[in-house]
Structure 1
Amino acid sequence: MLNCLVILPLCADNESPVNPRPEFSLQKATKLALQHYGVTVKEISALPSYMDQNFLVMDEPGTKYVLKIMNSEESKNTTLLGLQTLAMSFLRCRGIPAQTAIPTTTGQLMIMAETDCGHGAQTYCVRLMTYLPGKTITQSPVKTQDLYHVGKLVATIDKTLQQLVSPNLDVLERDGILWSLSNIPLLEGYLSVMDGDPLQEVVKAVIEQYKSHVQPKINTFQKVFSKQVKRLDTEPSILYQRIIHGDLSDQNLLVTPVDSGLHEVSGVLDFSLLMNGCYVFELAITIMYLMLENPHPLDVGGAVLAGWESIMPLNNNEKDSLFLLVLGRLCQSLVYGRYNAKKYPDNKEYLLTTAKSGTRLVTKLWKLGKTEVERKWFTDASTFSVSQ
């Protein structure tokens, strides 16, 4: 079972060639679980991951966990990792089925392990996470009613995160991260990986459309606000901000079957792209990934949109930008996936997961065009019935 999809912010080709991806053996992972968490491992197996390393662990009584080892690059930002861990627990306490970290025997929610995985000694953040039941949406025959409830849950997650309080929320100002939908134009610096592929022209056209039709509207999107509050002169300022998960994809949402062949979300995974951002970005990301493996991809947008707007209605500029934001995220996934596959060929198959159906999808959406696709989405959303 796939339990995590982590997307590492890319580095320029002239930066350090050291591979940040951990390569812990089963034996070393077993030792970490026992040494730091007191877990005597009965069974352990590797789980797929983008740039981290995940292990499915079962102890002697039969309890399952996920041992998550972050790549060495992201492990450097312990403040951000701590905030991601806090957000998971915060949501879980408010009824969202988020994966959470389990304390070590000394009460820590994460540890730093230094080891040499064949690229010199590096430090990796290690967390033991709760195991959540279910299968990814990719692996499940979800219906449009299920997608409505996914859209509703995704909006609820972002609305709930408005209440998150921490003195470290400023680390979520991640304006430079390539995977932010505010940074679609940065794709131009990576298009050489698509040289010779006709799809490159489509990606270029999406970027140009984004720059002319979306970028000028971003300041009108519902997004981040912040204020500083001091309750006492001796206390640090507390920063309140709007936050998005940033990667609520088909791989990061687990579902379990319920009555009448429907499904409910049983797990929300991977908070590595937690950031300040526009709410419509979250919606576009979710629609894009849920379209990938759906046998009727054009039916996805309306159902997810209806669920989302039951919690947070879009304004007119957000509605007018949704199609290009969905295409933008799809182009990001295709281009950056191909870039990372060249850089880390040992994980090529997983890094190119989106490319399997994404190439066909982006071509289809671009051919249909903004007007037709948006008409389909918004008509479906306006006529959607949860009982259908």
Structure 2
Amino acid sequence: MSTLEPGEKIKPNIDIDSAEKLVDKLFNFKVIKIIEIDSYDDRNYLIEIESDFHDHGKKFVLKITNSLDSSFPRLIEAVNEITNYVKSSTSLKVPYPIPDCNGQLVSRISLNSSLPEEQFAIRLLNFVPGTIMNQVDYTENILFQVGETLATLTKELKNFTNSVLEKRKTIWSLSSVDKLDKFLFAVDNDDHRSLISGVIKKFKQQVIDKIDEFPVSIIHGDVNEQNIVLDKVDTNRWSVIGLIDFADSHQAPTIFDLAILCCYVTLDSKLIDPIKAPGYVISGYHRVIQISDQEWNILPISIMARLAQSLTLGAYSYRENQGNEYILSSARRAGQFWKD
């Protein structure tokens, strides 16, 4: 599977009215409310239908996957497989696919009559209720729980195999960090570009050049504060109940998921010193899974590599999608982190 190249347009070009018509056509649902929700390269819509659909409720997410991922054979089906596996093997609430009128979990359609060969994968996913993690101030307990939850997921996914995800590599894979050079033009700050170049070089030497030496498994690939769902237990306590967006799942060194999570809690921690925040996550993770010395050694540079990705690809994507402030959310914090 090829990775994103500079200048490549992959985001689906569709308006909200056309998205609503797709729901009617494919699922025969009467939509009473539809809003577009944040996404990098896909189009996601939160919809509410007139009446409950079996035991799935009234709220769903319509996901129209970007052309690059949509074009890769069986990739979207593989993403469905991993979410269904997690649903059946853990207590986590996840966004599983809903069959369309023909019983299909994935439909592929063209959105441009002049490019009929360009197909986009369409899915309807159940809505996972709760509070997204970035809407609360992180406590030590929340961070510890998140680490435990990730480790529990990681432990289960070691038993999951999928030939498509085993071969997959995207520009957001940590193993693609050495390809960031060609996107660095989007980073305006000279100091940031220099820092990122140093991280790329160090990560290549310490990790990419030795990647076959580390334990691997299928990982979530994007465990961040916007993909973790919480439920309020009482006035002062939250519980981790769900994990969404498995669209970046792939096979990689298992420790990468922990590095990605540590990166984002560092960027988003407000009550707790950002430098200390990953420690609580790691403690929760380590309670379930023993981290080997070899993995400990590459964890810090892997966290920095994700910071480099977030800043670089966020800046690039914003250039391509002016006005989408969501794209810059992590990139801005990464830039501030390096500035500080």
Report the TM-score when normalising by structure 1: 0.79
- Deviation per CA, 1:120-153: give whole Å up to 9, x if none: 4432111111111122211112311111111111
Task: Give 1:127's match in structure 2, choosing from 123, 128, 141.
Answer: 123
- Deviation per CA, 1:266-320: give whole Å up to 9, x if none: 3311111111111111100011112222113122211110111122111112112
8 Å contact kept, 2:266–2:277 = yes
Provide the residue aligned with 1:25 in structure 2.
Answer: 15
Shift in Å, 1:35: 2.0
8 Å contact kept, 1:256–1:264 = yes
| AA of the residue aligned to 2:256 | F
Is residue 297 of structure 1 aligned with residue 274 of structure 2?
Answer: yes
Kindly report which structure 2 residues correspond to 1:158-173, keeping only aligned pairs within 5 A, or say none. 158-165=154-161, 169-173=162-166
Secondary structure (helix, strand or coil) at the match of 2:288 reads coil
8 Å contact kept, 1:156–1:311 = yes
Kindly report which structure 2 residues correspond to 1:209-248, keeping only aligned pairs within 5 A, or say none. 209-215=202-208, 217-223=210-216, 242-248=217-223
Is residue 51 of structure 1 aligned with residue 50 of structure 2?
Answer: no
Q: Which moved more, 1:81-90 or 1:105-114?
A: 105-114
- Deviation per CA, 1:70-96: give whole Å up to 9, x if none: 112211124011010011011111222
8 Å contact kept, 2:13–2:111 = no
Provide the residue aligned with 1:257 in structure 2.
Answer: 232
Gaps of 5+ in 1: 1-7, 224-241, 365-388
Shift of the 9–139 alpha-carbon distance from structure 1 to 2, 3 Å rule, reads: farther
8 Å contact kept, 2:312–2:331 = no
Secondary structure (helix, strand or coil) at the match of 2:218 reads coil
8 Å contact kept, 2:169–2:250 = no
* Distance (whole Å) between structure 1 residues aligned to residue 23 and residue 169 of structure 2: 35
Secondary structure (helix, strand or coil) at the match of 2:119 reads strand
| AA of the residue aligned to 1:43 | K
| AA of the residue aligned to 2:249 | L
- Deviation per CA, 1:169-224: give whole Å up to 9, x if none: 2222346432222232222232222355221111122223223444455443222x
* Distance (whole Å) between structure 1 residues aligned to residue 108 and residue 338 of structure 2: 40
Number of residue equivalences: 330
Shift in Å, 1:158: 2.0
* Distance (whole Å) between structure 2 residues aligned to residue 282 and residue 120 of structure 1: 37
* Distance (whole Å) between structure 2 residues aligned to residue 258 and residue 102 of structure 1: 29
* Distance (whole Å) between structure 2 residues aligned to residue 194 and residue 55 of structure 1: 30
| AA of the residue aligned to 2:309 | Q
8 Å contact kept, 1:245–1:274 = yes
* Distance (whole Å) between structure 2 residues aligned to residue 252 and residue 30 of structure 1: 24
* Distance (whole Å) between structure 2 residues aligned to residue 196 and residue 47 of structure 1: 29
Secondary structure (helix, strand or coil) at the match of 2:171 reads coil
* Distance (whole Å) between structure 2 residues aligned to residue 215 and residue 59 of structure 1: 47
8 Å contact kept, 1:142–1:262 = no
Is residue 285 of structure 1 aligned with residue 260 of structure 2?
Answer: yes
8 Å contact kept, 1:21–1:52 = yes
Provide the residue aligned with 1:338 in structure 2.
Answer: 315
8 Å contact kept, 1:41–1:60 = yes
Gaps of 5+ in 2: 53-57
Provide the residue aligned with 2:175 in structure 1.
Answer: 182
| AA of the residue aligned to 1:10 | L
Provide the residue aligned with 1:81 in structure 2.
Answer: 76
- Deviation per CA, 1:308-338: give whole Å up to 9, x if none: 1122111112112211110100101111111
Provide the residue aligned with 1:308 in structure 2.
Answer: 285
Is residue 70 of structure 1 aligned with residue 73 of structure 2?
Answer: no
Task: Give 1:198's match in structure 2, choosing from 184, 191, 194.
Answer: 191
Identity level (%):
28
Provide the residue aligned with 1:11 in structure 2.
Answer: 5
8 Å contact kept, 1:67–1:126 = yes
| AA of the residue aligned to 2:223 | L
* Distance (whole Å) between structure 2 residues aligned to residue 273 and residue 177 of structure 1: 8
